[in-house]
Amino acid sequence: KGKNENDNASIASISRVYSCGSNERNQLGREGTWKRFQVIPELNNHLVVQLSCGYNHSLALTEAGQVFGFGCNLFGQLGIRTEHESLPKPTLIKKLAHEIIIQVACGGTHSIALTKKGLLYSWGSNGFGQLGTGDKGRCLYDPVVITKLSSIAVRCISAGGSHSMAVSYGNNIYVWGKNEFGQLGLGDTANRLSPCFQSALSNQEICYVSCGDDHSAAITRDGGLFTWGAGMYGQLGHGKFSNELLPRRVCELMGLQVSQVSCGRCHTLVVIGSKGRIYSFGLNGCGQLGIGTQTSESSPVKISGPWVEFDANEVTVRRISGPVVELNVNPEIKIESEWKDIDERMSIEDVDDDDFSGERDISLSPTFISSKGDDSDSPVVEEPEDMESAPCGRSSVEISEYISDPDSDCETEKPIFSNHLVSSLGGSVPGSHPRVNHVKLLAASASKGDQSFILTTRLDVNFSAVDYRNIGSTGNIYVFDNSVFDNMLLIDADERIPDEIIEYIESTFGSVASWNGSYLSSKTSESSPRINWESAYYGFNCLRKCPNQRLTEIAMNVIQEHLFPTLPTNCDNLDDEALRIFLLLPLFHIFHSEVQLKKIATLLSPFSKCMNRLNESAKKCVELWMTAVDKEYFQKLVEAYKSGVIFNLKEISEVKKKEEEEKVIHRGSTTQASAWLKDGLDMLRFLNNVNQKTKLLLYKEFYVPELHDTADIKMDYVEWLRAKHTTQKHPTNLFFCDYPFIFDAAAKTKILSVDSMIMRQKAAENVFQFILPLPHAQVVLTQSPFFEITVRRGSLVYSAAAQLLTERPPSEYKKPLKINFESKLSHVFVLRFLFHVLLHVNSLIDEEAVDAGAGVKKEFFLLLTKELLEIGKDDENSVPKFIEHDNGHTIWFNPNEIADYDLDIYELLGIVCALAIYNEVIIYAPFPLPLYKKILNEELELDDLSYLDQYLTKSLKEILHTSYTENEFDAVYCDLYFVATITIKGKAQEFELCKNGNTRRLTYKNRTEFVELYWKFMLNKSVEKSFGAFKTGFSKVVDNNLLHLFHAEELMQMVTGESACDWYLVEKDTVYKEPFSATHPTVKMFWKVFHSLSEEDKRNFLLFLTGSDKIPIVGLKMAMQPVKVSDEHLPVVHTCFNIVDLPEIYTSEEKLRSKLLQAIKHTQGFALA
């Protein structure tokens, strides 16, 4: 694609390159006449596929991916270090010889090149930052990688006078360099020293860009044309002669599909491929618009030339015989004579290799370059001895005689003359092999000068108009190709792998750009990673199934040695499309293979490190994309890192055991394993954050139960607390408490226990420090190990409030609770306790684990909670503190105004719920999940209202996402106002959602505001005071440091128990008193009968055994012991201890079933009526 201010270079055939024009800087690449096209002989042995020209230098790209430069090298624009100011013959750029180059672009005095691996190189002048290296001024004589774009899959490149642009596979534009006239399209005139994402066109799916000297143009996927930058000559096509700092669509061409665009110095050419039309606009002092005048145009003007316009949708091409074809547009159009005439006037096949004749006069209309005749027949302009005296024919438009870089630090700056017409014959498409034959519109090219060339060829049955919107129209970088993976399946296990397959693996798997450019799908939304998951799964599954495992080994080595070191870091201000690799890489099957130390060291840990190196905005982008992946993908990734964490935990544990046995410290091995462990935990934390949004997995699937056997959880919590209050750095800087999502219920119970112990110890230390200064003090410190309170059964709420609401140190609340009743115990408890003492005084199971006060404590919690929740419920003259929702299955705070003294009730309930956690007692408090989210300061949303009232939530969603038109909506909901209706004690009450809400009607336009105000009123605004008091009480007991350990669901289950129960696990965990055992006939018969019961009956058994129909989050501890009585007796339970007494022998299953059902259906236990 020749774009040169002083010379023309053209690919005339698949093996010949011609040039003509100014040659004062050797930019023709040959000797001889400058006024005629002549072959560049040094390129005859190379298949040149692309040409690009700057002001005074040229680059030629060969099919082999080599780049040759010739012409001026004052600023290093040839990429060749030499003492000479110019090179007269094409010379290989050796610094790029190790790369396969697929595209080149010459700016005025700089150059850029794209490699097959997706790297973008630049060299030459850098006065305005046009090299994209992050600085300016210093010329670069050697090509350097533009690191800012190394992660972007670049589709095409373009270089202007002093600015550069690249289009990505994601259809985004990146710009850098000079911006004096807004040619970067960033909304200002500040130069950019490194590539910047052009956000203005981010929604337009840009496919191709072209740079003029100081203006730019871009084509969209749907054929739209945008231009921006310098517009003083009308080169932007917007109908005015002014600059544009932001891209603006050329409205005159709307409705037409632009397939090509080419920017000259101050003019622009546009091709409408489907119509066979060419439009031009901009400066026309030299007739470069081809419209027959020298008047500049600010709007697109169609060029009439010796070619045929047609509608591609209506054209029919049929071969008659040999080279003869028939073109039919419709029966009335006959164009054969026109084609014949054109055929006679232009035929490059008859041209002498040495002699293309050229004219030096201005041509105001498209004219064929004649190939007939010789020197005597063609108009000749004598070559002046002094190039400066050559006629320019530019009318009043001149290019500066001195093209230098004012901001350059290059030592050599000499005048570069620019006073000859320049053009590019053919403007061949990069990466293609054009044949210039007769009359098929193929390409249009303007140059940085003031002229234009149109390349045409014969229209035949193989007709295919060049369209720059197609990704195949330019040289393409390596991307994953499923057809190549299919071929890999054919390579046997012991077969030699072909070199081209090895090269393909090394090039694709080692290139970040190749990963990011692979398996692209169409853009569906801004939050979409644009990955074709079906194709991606197919490709990587092919690699997994390959019989030859050496293919996987090569890919693994390339990823480890070349890919990971080049992944994006937190230093990069990246666009989103540079991050697709973080979703594609986990598809590599080694991620999900059996965990091994090598896998952790070479794949899992490095990938996690790379993820952690990303800046926060990049992490949030990957996190957002992860929320859209399928469950199988996400679960496999979680399992892979969980396996790695468990493997490292065991490694560290074994090393420590070995150290204890050998009394030798293996510090290196534990340090490395700890580092890998931290990497794995960091990745699990990232995945857990994703899961909190998607709920793809149960939070329990992140638990790592192996911690109990491999780590000291209690000591980890102590060290974690110490590190939070000291500047001293921990040796490994790794605390499991920073990853609370891996703790199961048992681990969190241990932490609660050690936290209680720490608080008690602190309290004792404070007392000791207080009395220490007293002289001759002899004090005996007696501190009770219990939090002891005395309550009256007849006034349980008031007596409990009097003691629990009293100001006391936080450590007091965290002691084991001991309850003393002033009145007699409940008859149920007395009878059961006496029965146990009389019959089984020496037969308690696991006596050390039994708390003799557990039953009393359990009764206290259940009765107190019941009374608190029912305050005001049955009294018609009082206001209930809580109201029921969802048919009584859920309760919530009363939204009515409450007196300040009533806040004590809410605070007391908060204390009770928190005490239940520390004392491992589950209570009946049917608050919905949003309560616990609010305790943890989690943001609520509309969906959270469904835990409170499903029908209300559904109705609000129907209002929000209505299918009604505006008029229909307003008619249907005309009776609704901005008020919330809540039923309290069977009566509907209305609450205004906003000021004057009872007179503000719900309409189609304000429905979003209505829904938001409604759910926020229900969950937040209406309960602000009451919930605040509840949280105050809760926080008196549970420290904020501990709250971060819990999920909202876990916190809820710690208070009220877990609904889901694995009954077979209950059986497995049950202990027995001899002669009972798991294999005893009566025990086996019991479990057989139990598992055959309905779910409701099983829940009733729980109520019979424990006083609650839910199980503690830490699991149910149950015991079973024999009683030497007949099978006519009912089974008996000891609710204080979770013990079941069974007759030692049952005569039949039917008898056991009958007695068991009779017992559980007639018990009251501590259940709430």
> Tens digit of pLDDT for each residue in 943-961?
999 999 999 999 999 999 9
Q: For residue 1052, tell me if it sits in a domain.
A: no
> Which of 483 and 473 is assigned the larger pLDDT?
483
pLDDT at residue 4 tops 70: no
Q: Does the pTM of the predicted model rise above 0.85?
A: no
> Stretch 221-233: mean pLDDT, rounded?
95
Cβ count within 10 A of residue 208: 24
Q: What is the mean pLDDT of residues 775-803?
A: 73
Q: State residue 387's pLDDT score.
A: 36
Residue 437: inside a domain: no
CB 942 within 8 A of CB 953: yes
- Does residue 237 surpass a pLDDT of 90? yes
- pLDDT 10s digits, 1015-1046: 999 999 999 999 999 999 999 998 887 888 88
pLDDT score at 469: 87
Last residue of a domain, one of 256, 272, 303: 256
Spatial neighbors of 94 by CB under 8 A, at least 6 apart, are 80
**Residue 376 is assigned to a structural domain of this protein:** no
Higher pLDDT, 665 or 178: 178
Bond before 1075 cis per omega within 30 degrees: yes
pLDDT at 168 (0 to 100): 94
pLDDT at 561: 93
**Which tens digit of pLDDT belongs to each residue from 949-995?**
999 999 999 999 999 999 999 999 999 999 999 988 888 889 999 99
Q: What is the mean pLDDT of residues 689-716?
A: 91
Q: Kindly indicate the confidence band of residue 570, based on its pLDDT and cuts at 50, 70 and 90.
A: low
Local confidence band at 313 (pLDDT 50, 70, 90 cut-offs): low
Total domain count, the chain: 3
In the prediction, which pLDDT does 765 show? 63
For the residues 688-700, what does the mean pLDDT come to?
Answer: 92
Least confident segment among 154-163, 322-331, 704-713, 747-756? 322-331
Long-range (24+ apart) CB contacts under 8 A made by 854-858 are 854/1136, 854/1137, 855/829, 855/1134, 855/1135, 855/1136, 855/1137, 856/819, 856/821, 856/825, 856/829, 856/1136, 857/817, 857/818, 857/819, 857/919, 857/921, 858/921, 858/1106, 858/1107, 858/1135, 858/1136, 858/1166
Most confident of 114-128, 301-315, 394-408, 591-605: 114-128
Confidence of residue 778 (pLDDT cuts 50, 70, 90): very low
Q: Please tell me which residue, 101 or 900, carries the higher pLDDT value.
A: 101
Q: Which domain holds residue 1102?
A: 1060-1162
Q: Kindly state the average pLDDT of the residues 1004-1009.
A: 94
Is the pLDDT at 143 greater than 80? The verdict is yes
pLDDT number for residue 1000: 94
Alpha-carbon distance 716 to 730, whole Å? Answer: 11
Mean pLDDT along residues 62-90: 92
Beta-carbon count within 10 A of 98 CB:
7
At 635-668, the pLDDT tens digits run 999 999 999 999 999 888 888 887 777 665 555 5
Q: Specify if 581 maps to a domain.
A: yes
Lowest mean pLDDT among 388-397, 414-423, 688-697: 414-423
* Over residues 755-773, mean pLDDT: 64
Average pLDDT estimate for 269-296: 90
Q: Which CATH number goes with the domain that contains 1119?
A: 3.30.2410.10
Q: Is pLDDT above 70 for 424?
A: no
pLDDT (mean) for 932-945: 94
The whole-number pLDDT of residue 402 equals 35
Predicted confidence at residue 727, as pLDDT, reads: 67
User: What is the per-residue pLDDT for 667?
Assistant: 53
DSSP letter string, 722-765 = HHHT--PPPSS---GGG-GGG--HHHHHHHHHHHHHHHHHHHHH
pLDDT of residue 36: 83
If one compares 901 and 938, the residue with the highest pLDDT of the two is 938
Q: Residue 2 has what pLDDT?
A: 43
Residue 449 binned pLDDT confidence (cut-offs 50, 70, 90): confident
Does 28 map to a domain?
no
| Whole-number Å distance between alpha carbons of 505 and 542 | 14
Asked if residue 863 belongs to a domain, the reply is no
Say whether pLDDT at 363 is over 80. Answer: no
| pLDDT of 725 higher than 70 | yes
> In angstroms, what CA-CA distances link 252 with 193, 227, 238, 298?
34, 12, 8, 11
Specify the pLDDT at position 418. 30
Lowest-confidence segment of 34-43, 233-242, 264-273, 577-586 by average pLDDT: 34-43
| pLDDT score, position 1040 | 80
CB 17 within 8 A of CB 66: no
Residues with a known catalytic role: 1136
Query: For residue 808, how many other CB atoms are within 10 A of its CB?
Result: 12
pLDDT for res 690: 95
**Domain edge (last residue) among 256, 273, 300:** 256
State the pLDDT confidence band at 357, using cuts at 50, 70 and 90: very low
Q: What would the two tokens of residue 948 be?
A: 């409170």
- What is the rounded distance in angstroms from the CA atom of residue 1052 to the CA atom of residue 1037? 16
Is residue 201, in this structure, part of any structural domain at all?
A: yes
Q: Which tops the pLDDT comparison, 204 or 1117? A: 204
Q: Which pLDDT score, from 0 to 100, does residue 312 have?
A: 59
d(CA 978, CA 1007): 10
DSSP string, 63-100: TTS-EEEEEE-TTSTTS---SSSEEEEEEE-GGGTTS-
pLDDT at 1074 over 70: yes
pLDDT for 144 beyond 60: yes
Q: Is 663 left (phi over 0), alpha (psi -120 to 50) or beta?
A: left
Q: What percent of the chain has pLDDT over 70?
A: 78
Query: For residue 1080, what pLDDT is reported?
Result: 94
Q: What band does 573 get if pLDDT is binned at 50, 70 and 90? A: low
pLDDT of residue 14: 54
Specify if 57 maps to a domain.
Answer: yes
pLDDT tens column, 152-169: 999 999 999 999 999 999
Q: Taken in order 240, 241, 246, 250, is the CA torsion positive or negative?
A: positive
pLDDT (tens digit, 9 = 90+) per residue, 180-191? 999 999 999 999
pLDDT at 354: 43
Write down the mean pLDDT value for the chain. 81
More confident residue, 300 or 432: 300
What does the pLDDT average to over 124-139? 93
131: domain CATH number? 2.130.10.30
The model's confidence at residue 783, banded by pLDDT at 50, 70 and 90, is low
Range in 219-233, 469-483, 980-994, 1001-1015 the model is least confident about: 469-483
Residue 851 has pLDDT above 50, yes or no: no
- Predicted confidence (pLDDT) at residue 404 exceeds the cutoff of 60: no
Question: pLDDT band at 571, cuts 50/70/90?
Answer: low
Q: What is the pLDDT of residue 1102?
A: 86
* pLDDT at position 65 over 80: yes
Query: Percentage of residues in the chain with pLDDT exceeding 90?
Result: 46
pLDDT above 50 (res 336): no
Please determine, for residue 340, whether its predicted confidence score (pLDDT) is greater than 90: no
- Of 256, 286, 310, which closes a domain? 256
Q: Give the orientation angle of helix 499-509 with respect to helix 550-558, to 10 degrees.
A: 40
Q: How high is the pLDDT of residue 304? A: 85
Q: Which two tokens stand for residue 436?
A: 């210039």
Lowest mean per-residue pLDDT among 103-112, 296-305, 395-404, 907-916 = 395-404
- Smallest Cα–Cα separation from 289: which of 275, 269, 306, 272? 269
* Cβ neighbours, 10 Å, residue 101: 24
User: What is the structure's pLDDT at 1093?
Assistant: 92
